[in-house]
Amino acid sequence: MMRIPMSRFAERRKRFQRELDGGIAIVPGGKLRSRSNDVDYPFRQRSDLLYLTGFDQPDAIAVFTDDRFVLFVQARDPSAETWTGLRPGIEGAIEKFGADEAFPCSKFSEQLPELLSDRSRLYYKYGQDTGLDSVVSAALEVIRGQVRRGINGPEAIISPDRILHEMRLYKDPDELEVMRAAAAISNEAHRAAARICESGRYEYELEAALLFEFRRRGGSGPAYPSIVGSGENATILHYIENQSELRDGELVLIDAGVELDGYASDVTRTYPVGGRFEGIARDVYAVVIQAQEAAIASIRPGTTLPAIHDIALRCLVDGLVSLGALEGDVETLIKESAYRPFYMHSTGHFLGLDVHDVGHYSIAGQPQELRPGMAFTVEPGLYFSARDAETPASLQGIGVRIEDDVIITDSGYEVLTQAIPKKIDDLEAWMRG
């Protein structure tokens, strides 16, 4: 059941419509995608349409002017609904989802020229759907052919991203409640996986524990393919095969978060097989947790993601020297990017309806300042692959990443995923139950 009330979607639409300034916007939804033969992938609505409408059925297209919200949807069809489930239809689009008018999606090309008439600009993003691009282009040609009759069409075509993605960057109170609920589900899922992190188990068993909790607690499933990488697999950033057997002395990196009402949770913890950090793996983990704690402590309104990254990076490079992976002055090593074989990604990204959510990372060549309502991750890591000749033998096969979801508040920050332990003693106790 959608946790965000329809009144919130209506408020978002009004804000969006005010920005159109006499123009018209076309915001398409998603389509079913074939998995194989006559089997489709589970449907997931495009985030922009979901954000504005809450409508979660395929083949929908929303059209907005400053005073109208028109929704094109699949018409009711008892025969089709017997196979694939009930549809809101035209009536539901108006009564449940607040459309001023609704039409079958099959009527879109027919209705579009009239909707475009005498609109000064069109907000539409070409390149997402070539079929829809052709329909829009054809409608514009129809309008251009009516100039002598006094009918004018849009003189400018502009992507709506500038408006919509700026809106999506700042999470409203209802969004934050959903993201907190998603973090709570991810907490329980990580707990279930961590408690079977034992020698002789397989990565896919831990993945199955995650997926069970995601669905059991009301999520639609993972927000992205779950990463469960043990040993050398933990050094592959987007490892998703999840097939290997867990072995004593290894670490298991789990990067997994639920999707709830379209919103992503994105959390990573690194667990010792058998429940205890030992030897140099414990030392590597200590470096990464220190870097993450320092990065999070620096968060406040007005800071930037690059500034947070720089704080984490300095701690990581200092740690790489103490671990024997690098030699030399820390500042020089950073300047020369000597750390890149062991740390090759940034420390965070925006989070929301997409796991790598929308939003400008820089404005006029300067980093975007973080403001209250923005959500993002903080995820330093170190990766020592046996495939890399630069990796010291004592460190090979160790990968550690620690990732939390954070929102900026008026006075500082809130860590949404704080309940999932990460300090060594706390995490070991949590694994033991």
Distance of alpha carbon 284 from alpha carbon 48, whole angstroms: 40
- For residue 425, give the nearest of 268, 228, 286 by alpha carbon: 286
Q: Is 383 a catalytic residue?
A: yes
| Distance of alpha carbon 97 from alpha carbon 207, whole angstroms | 36
Candidate list 48, 232, 250, 379, residue with the active-site label: 379
Encode 172-191 in three state secondary structure: CHHHHHHHHHHHHHHHHHHH
Active site residue 165: no
Closest CA to 122 of 46, 22, 29: 22
Is 329 catalytic? The answer is no
Q: Which of 354, 403, 404, 405 is catalytic?
A: 403
Q: From the candidates 401, 404, 405, 413, give the one annotated as an active-site residue.
A: 401
Q: Which of 422, 287, 257 is nearest to 349 (CA)?
A: 257
Q: Pairing state of beta strands 381-384 and 263-264?
A: unpaired
- Specify whether 403 is catalytic: yes
Q: Given 266, 357, 404, 405, which residue is catalytic?
A: 266
Best CA proximity match to 29, nearest among 349, 219, 262, 352: 262
Phi/psi of residue 271, nearest 5 degrees: -115, 140
Q: Which of 35, 300, 340, 356 is catalytic?
A: 356
- Whether 255 sits among the annotated catalytic residues: the reply is yes
* Residue 238 bears catalytic tag: yes
Question: Is-contact 192 209, C-beta < 8 A?
Answer: yes
Has 224 been annotated as catalytic? no
In angstroms, the CA 239 to CA 413 distance is 30
The 8-class DSSP code of residue 387 comes to T
Which residue do the tokens 């109208």 mark? Answer: 68
The neighbour count for residue 161, using CB atoms within 10 Å, is 14
User: By C-alpha distance, which of 336, 333, 305, 315 is closest to 413?
Assistant: 305
Selecting among 345, 360, 369, 428, the annotated active-site residue is: 345
- Check if 266 is active-site: yes
Catalytic residue, candidates 67, 238, 387, 425: 238
- Identify whether 401 is a catalytic site residue: yes
Q: Which of 213, 255, 354, 405 is catalytic?
A: 255
Residue 287 amino acid letter: V
Dist CA 53 CA 63 (whole Å): 11
* 309 catalytically annotated: no
Catalytic site residues? Answer: 38, 238, 255, 266, 345, 349, 356, 379, 383, 401, 403
